[in-house]
């Protein structure tokens, strides 16, 4: 290595003077902080605006002469250029204010059946959040920080209007947008919410994911070319161009990186060009580098005139330096609200000195967390938190001065049209039912084709089972004895069980992920439930038909079932409807059940009941009268009787009693189809009524 070409890299120490609004005096009883003797690494709380031209002055050169110097402030500096986006003023500038927010949930005997907790919970209510006020202007990035359980998500949800309506919970206070109480139908069009979990389809590409949102969330009056431009803009703005055509992927399927996936989630919400963006823990699960990338993206989005609010857990120091405003929460109370760059000085003035080499975020979290490891530590830390909360509520409100769009906030009223917002329809959905159906069907079809593992395993399962059953019952249908006939009845029943469980398990493993994606998309008003449900049903039918046809073609002729075209197609029809009915049963239960575990426990039970009363194990006259009704709800019973009648129609085999339920084979098919329709209808009803995202609109 060329020694002379490698000068020593000198860490850049940055002296910082932090002008702040601080309380007049520190706490009595506190001793002054010890003099700091540690080496000065520079103030890690240094804010983005303080970074000017402190480029690393020493250059480190690689052997080939490439400059490989490292600039630790690169991310921060990148954002100093506020003119990166072409979309700077294309939205309404919105100022969000909140006053005296309080949120309580019931914990008492009356609400949940458990005894009341002590303290203010005696009335049966637990206070999750109280006395929370603040403001964030356009161009500003607000971070809500606090330890686990501090109330960050609750506050974010209150600000975003996304608190789930729960029985007995109570919210109070005021949330204002540009000084006025918000109109939720308009607010939903200008504010977007990015959930902590990236609920995205792994099989879609980045572009397809963003495009889907654009096509359905932008109004139908907007030409497709303009929607495509919006997609391109978002992809560029989030630096996703290089991976635009890469699958999103998941733990099982290689796709984009965690940071890119998070940016895709943001892009999905950004496509409507919202003025306000709320994010819940956007860096959770990301490594330090990807976390920084995501936050610098938010920083840039804020500079482009948006109002951005995010919760975050223990950010590293260069992430912390990106925040304009900081809100520290502990035990549901505000410890600090004001400019992020002033927080260190604020706590210093209270005699809580953040050591020079410390990441202020770490220091604050340690300072305001309740230590429950021992009663003494808990009492002490709770006291500290109470005193800090009181100090905060007694301190003068801080004036927020940041963002270049601050005066724009007062100019615009929510509802005044600008660019994208101008074109938004005032109705809940931006496109017609038919348009939704078209895009949903295309997406469902793409997903279905790309679910390679599921498709190949179902293909393998179909081929293996049909050949195996065919070998076991090879030529059984070609004999004339009553034993052959009884054997044939056995295979007819067994193949129905196989198809029922195969269809149901295909739903159990695939639907839970889809359910969370659909919930997210419904919460942002992307489409109607009916169009989703119809698209899903229409797209699944061809696949189910294909596998059933394949199964029938192999098994039917190996076993030697009645060799007529009409008998064969009747067989295919019954097996197909049975499978779709079992899928519908699994779907309805999956939607109704609280979680996938409950669904996977309930679905086999429902199917086994149907099998038990299917007419093979127990004859109708062997069942207690008061249980007979179950037989008439059994999908297997109708399918089995129809198949048996199809096979033995017109055949007289001495000593054989053919199972029958008194209906003709076509009547049995009609009852089976009726059960199918009822189960599909129930699935739709459950999705519409029980899985609708409902939010409290009090504030």
Ligand X SMILES: Nc1ncnc2c1ncn2[C@@H]1O[C@H](COP(=O)(O)OP(=O)(O)OP(=O)(O)O)[C@@H](O)[C@H]1O
Q: Are 617 and 659 in contact (CB under 8 A)?
A: no
- Residue 516 tokens read as 């969370």
At its nearest, how many Å lie between ligand X and the CB of residue 695? 13
At its nearest, how many Å lie between ligand X and the CB of residue 98? 15
- Residue 156 tokens read as 């974010």
- Residue 46 tokens read as 């240094």
E-assigned strand segments in 237-379: 276-279, 307-312, 325-330, 333-339
Pick 105 or 194: Cβ nearer ligand X: 105
**Strand, helix or coil at 486?**
helix
Pick 146 or 173: Cβ nearer ligand X: 146
Pick 106 or 683: Cβ nearer ligand X: 106
At its nearest, how many Å lie between ligand X and the CB of residue 163? 8
Pick 144 or 238: Cβ nearer ligand X: 144
Residue 641: alpha-carbon gap to chain centroid: 44
CA distances from residue 253 to 202, 256, 506 in whole angstroms, order as listed: 7, 10, 18
318 closest CA partner among 288, 344, 342? 288
280 closest CA partner among 390, 136, 163? 163
Q: Are 399 and 324 in contact (CB under 8 A)?
A: no
Pick 126 or 665: Cβ nearer ligand X: 126
- Residue 207 tokens read as 């572009």
Q: Are 338 and 20 in contact (CB under 8 A)?
A: yes
At its nearest, how many Å lie between ligand X and the CB of residue 325? 18
At its nearest, how many Å lie between ligand X and the CB of residue 178? 26
334 closest CA partner among 391, 398, 260, 417? 391
What stretch of H or E contains 126?
Answer: strand 125-136
At its nearest, how many Å lie between ligand X and the CB of residue 519? 17
At its nearest, how many Å lie between ligand X and the CB of residue 412? 31
Pick 344 or 368: Cβ nearer ligand X: 368
* Cα atoms in the Cβ-side hemisphere of radius 13 Å centred on 670: 5
Pick 197 or 407: Cβ nearer ligand X: 197
Pick 152 or 233: Cβ nearer ligand X: 152
CA distance 309 to 322: 13
Pick 332 or 683: Cβ nearer ligand X: 332
Alpha-helix runs per DSSP H in 38-183: 74-80, 109-112, 152-160
Give the residues lining the site for ligand X (CB under 6 A): 105, 128, 146, 148-154, 166, 169
Pick 170 or 486: Cβ nearer ligand X: 170
Pick 362 or 667: Cβ nearer ligand X: 362
First to last CA, the chain: 65
At its nearest, how many Å lie between ligand X and the CB of residue 166? 5
Nearest-10 Cα torsion for 74, 80, 86, 89: 150
373 closest CA partner among 382, 365, 364? 382
At its nearest, how many Å lie between ligand X and the CB of residue 293? 21
What stretch of H or E contains 192?
Answer: strand 191-194
Tell me whether strands 333-339 and 325-330 are parallel, antiparallel or unpaired.
antiparallel
Computed from CA positions of residues 668, 669, 675, 677, in that sequence, does the dihedral angle turn out positive or negative?
negative
At its nearest, how many Å lie between ligand X and the CB of residue 372? 12
Maximum CA pair distance of the chain? 105
With a CB cutoff of 8 Å and minimum separation 6, the contacts of 336 are 326, 327, 328, 343, 346, 347, 364, 388, 392
Tell me whether strands 191-194 and 276-279 are parallel, antiparallel or unpaired.
parallel
Name 279's bridge partners. Answer: 194, 310
Pick 331 or 499: Cβ nearer ligand X: 331
* Cα atoms in the Cβ-side hemisphere of radius 13 Å centred on 282: 31
At its nearest, how many Å lie between ligand X and the CB of residue 686? 22
CA distance 506 to 254: 22
Pick 419 or 595: Cβ nearer ligand X: 595
Pick 169 or 661: Cβ nearer ligand X: 169
**Strand, helix or coil at 391?**
helix
At its nearest, how many Å lie between ligand X and the CB of residue 153? 3
340 closest CA partner among 54, 195, 122, 140? 140
At its nearest, how many Å lie between ligand X and the CB of residue 103? 8
At its nearest, how many Å lie between ligand X and the CB of residue 169? 6
Pick 152 or 188: Cβ nearer ligand X: 152
**Strand, helix or coil at 134?**
strand
In DSSP notation, 541-588 reads HHHHHHHHHHHHHHHHHHHT----HHHHHHHHHHHHHHHHHHHHHHHH
At its nearest, how many Å lie between ligand X and the CB of residue 112? 9
At its nearest, how many Å lie between ligand X and the CB of residue 529? 25
Pick 322 or 330: Cβ nearer ligand X: 330
Tell me whether strands 307-312 and 170-177 are parallel, antiparallel or unpaired.
unpaired
Beta carbons within 10 angstroms of residue 91's beta carbon: 24
């Amino acid at each position: 290595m060329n020694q002379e070409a490698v000068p020593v890299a000198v860490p850049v120490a940055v002296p910082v003077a932090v002008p702040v609004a601080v309380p007049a005096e520190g706490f009595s009883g506190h001793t002054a902080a010890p003099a700091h003797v540690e080496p000065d690494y520079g103030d890690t709380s240094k804010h983005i605006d303080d970074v000017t031209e402190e480029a690393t002055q020493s250059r480190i050169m690689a052997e080939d002469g490439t400059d490989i110097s490292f600039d630790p402030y690169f991310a921060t500096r990148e954002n100093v250029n506020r003119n990166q986006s072409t979309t700077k003023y294309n939205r309404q500038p919105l100022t969000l204010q909140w006053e005296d927010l309080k949120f309580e949930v019931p914990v008492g005997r009356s609400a949940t059946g458990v005894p009341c907790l002590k303290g203010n919970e005696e009335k049966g209510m637990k206070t999750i959040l109280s006395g929370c006020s603040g403001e964030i202007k356009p161009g500003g990035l607000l971070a809500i920080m606090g330890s686990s359980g501090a109330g960050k998500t609750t506050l974010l949800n209150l600000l975003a209007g996304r608190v789930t309506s729960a029985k007995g919970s109570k919210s109070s206070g005021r949330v204002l947008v540009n000084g006025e109480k918000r109109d939720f139908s308009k607010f939903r069009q200008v504010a977007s919410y990015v959930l902590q979990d990236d609920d995205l389809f792994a099989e879609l590409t980045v572009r397809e994911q963003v495009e889907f949102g654009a096509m359905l969330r932008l109004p139908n009056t907007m030409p497709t070319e303009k929607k495509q431009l919006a997609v391109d803009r978002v992809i560029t703005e989030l630096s996703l161009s290089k991976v635009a055509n890469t699958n999103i992927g998941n733990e099982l399927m290689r796709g984009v990186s965690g940071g890119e996936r998070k940016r895709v989630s943001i892009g999905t919400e950004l496509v409507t060009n919202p003025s306000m963006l709320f994010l819940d823990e956007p860096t959770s699960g990301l490594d330090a580098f990807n976390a920084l990338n995501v936050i610098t993206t938010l920083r840039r989005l804020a500079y482009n005139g948006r109002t951005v609010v995010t919760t975050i857990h223990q950010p590293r120091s260069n992430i912390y330096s990106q925040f304009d405003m900081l809100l520290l929460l502990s035990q549901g109370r505000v410890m600090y609200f004001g400019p992020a760059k002033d927080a260190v000085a604020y706590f210093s003035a209270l005699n809580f000195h953040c050591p020079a080499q410390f990441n202020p975020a770490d220091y604050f979290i340690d300072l305001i967390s309740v230590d429950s490891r021992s009663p003494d530590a808990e009492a002490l830390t709770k006291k500290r938190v109470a005193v800090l909360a009181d100090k905060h509520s007694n301190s003068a409100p801080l004036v927020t001065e940041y963002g270049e769009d601050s005066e724009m906030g007062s100019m615009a009223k929510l509802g005044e049209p600008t660019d994208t917002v101008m074109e938004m329809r005032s109705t809940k959905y931006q496109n017609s039912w038919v348009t939704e159906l078209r895009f949903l069907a295309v997406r469902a079809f793409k997903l279905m084709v790309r679910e390679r593992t599921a498709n190949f395993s179902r293909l393998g399962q179909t081929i293996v089972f049909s050949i195996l059953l065919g070998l076991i019952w090879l030529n059984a249908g070609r004999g004339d004895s009553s034993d052959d006939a009884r054997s044939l009845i056995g295979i007819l029943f067994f193949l129905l069980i196989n198809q029922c469980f195969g269809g149901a398990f295909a739903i159990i493993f695939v639907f839970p992920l889809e359910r969370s994606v659909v919930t997210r998309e419904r919460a942002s008003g992307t489409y109607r439930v009916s169009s989703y449900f119809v698209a899903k049903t229409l797209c699944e039918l061809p696949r189910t038909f294909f596998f059933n046809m394949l199964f029938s073609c192999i098994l039917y002729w190996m076993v030697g079932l009645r060799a007529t075209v009409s008998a064969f197609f009747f067989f295919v029809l019954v097996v197909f409807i049975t499978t779709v009915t079992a899928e519908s049963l699994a779907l309805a239960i999956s939607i109704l059940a609280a979680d996938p575990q409950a669904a996977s426990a309930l679905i086999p039970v429902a199917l086994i009941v149907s099998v038990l009363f299917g007419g093979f194990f127990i004859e109708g006259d062997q069942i207690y009268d008061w249980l007979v009704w179950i037989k008439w709800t059994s999908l297997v019973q109708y399918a089995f009787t129809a198949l048996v009648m199809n096979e033995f129609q017109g055949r007289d085999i001495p000593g054989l009693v053919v199972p029958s339920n008194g209906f003709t084979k076509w009547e049995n098919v009609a009852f089976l189809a009726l059960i199918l329709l009822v189960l599909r209808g129930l699935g739709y009803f459950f999705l519409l009524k029980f899985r609708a995202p409902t939010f409290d609109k009090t504030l």
